[in-house]
Amino acid sequence: MAHTVVIFGASGDLTSRKLIPALYLLYQKNRLPKDTRIVGVARTKYSAEAWREELTATTQKFAGKEFDAAKWQAFAANVFYQPGDIDKVEDFQALAKKLTELEGDQPTTRLYYLATAPSLYAMAIAHLGAAGLADESRGVRRVVIEKPFGTDLKTAQELNKSTHQVFSEKQVYRIDHYLGKETVQNILVLRFANSIFEPLWNRRYIDHVQITVAEEVDVGRRAGYYDHAGVLRDMFQNHLLQLAMIMAMECPNRFSAEFVRDEKLKVLRAIKPLAGADFARDTIRGQYEGYREAEGVAPDSQTATFAVLKLHIENWRWQGVPFYLRSGKAMSCRTSQIVIQFRPPPVMVFSEGNRSQHEPNKLVIQIQPDEGIQLHFQTKVPDAGMRLTTADLDFRFAREFTGTMPDSYQRLLLDAMNGDASLFARSDEVETA
Ligand code: BG6
């Protein structure tokens, strides 16, 4: 089956940094369905040639050493451009005509990727509908919607409602790029393809869970968006909650979209909502020094660039095990990791005074960089009485496997093209989150 990927917001950062490099690398690895073409849509009046030329430079930069000039040329021959304004329904009609020309009589699966400003999602979807572009009589039509999906419950519900007026839920792919990360999918494998962790994965043995996404980068040139979003909408409502759900969920009956999403939703629903005094006790908000001087930030901005939440998941598995979620920009180092800290032994029988370290057991899932998993445990120091120290078992992807870690958009774009929604958020999930 032929495929057309239509990218709205073609002149934006996401398109050049992530989407085009991901599609190109999929092509290079022979993973892109045969007969896939890409059509960029944005307001800029480019020709296809001018857009290709710009993408050649950006893809070379972002695909790095994997870039191959000859393969790129072959890929770029199937890259097209159509100027268009999301506000104008007639531009969507022109797009419909262009797509019919390109696709000819061949039934074609289409993926509409909304990489525009979030304020344009509802309009883009309405105009796709009005121009007949959601109609599936000549092939499957799917739409990918980037985060943030609304800014609160009400706006998320409204966006779901207006989306469903045009696309049925099975046509909608709400993307969270954290779910495309190899190390995040590997949490599912660690938990559900091994039997040794499951008996320990509960309140009886786990003291608490820490989920940290620390970024070294600051707000950069994104203040226009970020100063309204802040770290809670930018990172917590989506990426950090996804990590929490994957850590806490029950094993789905099968690895398929509905089963996985049902289990994730149950976790969200079990999180005790914060109320009243909880905010003072269980949350911290912060702002990095210099944030208010960044271009586009209000001089008296109260936007948080750092936050910590202590969440309580009230079900049989997790009651009494706090999940600490924290994230911030402009931190001293870049690290995303999950620490599962186990309870201490009920009685410590080895006592060598303060020469011994009695560190609790920890399982550390390193999401990025230095992707891997470490297990910290106590061991005896040889020839030193019963003195103990902490040692670890250390698994690293880079040591175990060759090749570079693929960017998360490769997996997610391919899944959306193939109609696998397991790693995408469902409407009830985004509303609950
Ligand atoms: C994005 C946020 O969704 O995720 C950015 O909008 C953040 O602010 C980014 O920097 C982090 O993604 P990653 O993959 O670099 O951890």
Ligand 1 close to Cβ of residue 407 (< 6 A): no
pLDDT at 355: 52
Ligand 1 centroid distance, CA of 375 (Å): 27
171-185: average pLDDT? 97
223-248 pLDDT per residue, tens? 988 999 999 999 999 999 999 999 99
- Taking the CA atoms of residue 323, residue 328, residue 332 and residue 338 in that order, the dihedral angle to the nearest 10 degrees is 30
Give CA–CA dist 326/364, Å, rounded: 15
Hey, CA dihedral for 239, 244, 247, 251, is it positive or negative?
negative
Give CA–CA dist 271/43, Å, rounded: 42
Single pTM value for the model: 0.95
200-219: average pLDDT? 98
Give CA–CA dist 174/423, Å, rounded: 9
Distant-in-sequence, close-in-space partners of 253: CB < 8 Å, separation ≥ 6: 259
Instruction: Read off the tokens for 57.
Output: 């430079």
Element (H, E) at 271: none
- Write out the DSSP string of 379-429: EEPTTBTB-EEEEEEEEEHHHH--SPPPPHHHHHHHHHHHT--TTSB-HHH
pLDDT at 357: 60
Catalytic pick among 127, 239, 312, 376: 239
96 — phi, psi (to 5°)? -60, -40
- Write out the DSSP string of 103-158: HTTS-EEEEEEE-S-GGGHHHHHHHHHHTTTT--TTS-EEEEEPSP--SSHHHHHH
Ligand 1 close to Cβ of residue 91 (< 6 A): no
81 — phi, psi (to 5°)? -140, 140
64-108 pLDDT per residue, tens? 999 999 999 999 999 999 999 999 999 999 999 999 999 998 999
Give CA–CA dist 325/318, Å, rounded: 15
Closest by CA to 182, choosing from 396, 364, 38, is 396
Q: What is the mean pLDDT of the chain?
A: 96
Contact present, 72 and 62 (Cβ < 8 Å): no
252-262 pLDDT per residue, tens? 999 999 999 99
Instruction: Read off the tokens for 335.
Output: 């690290």
pLDDT at 273 over 60: yes
Contact present, 335 and 369 (Cβ < 8 Å): yes
pLDDT at 349: 87
Contact present, 50 and 16 (Cβ < 8 Å): no
Ligand 1 centroid distance, CA of 178 (Å): 9
Contact present, 247 and 338 (Cβ < 8 Å): yes
**What separation in angstroms does the CA of 340 have from each of 98, 123, 192, 374, 423?**
53, 43, 16, 11, 23
153-170 pLDDT per residue, tens? 999 999 999 999 999 999
Contact present, 145 and 121 (Cβ < 8 Å): yes
What is the residue with the minimal CA distance to atom 4 of ligand 1?
235
pLDDT at 344: 93
Active site residue 127: no
Ligand 1 close to Cβ of residue 415 (< 6 A): no
pLDDT at 20 over 70: yes
pLDDT at 352: 61
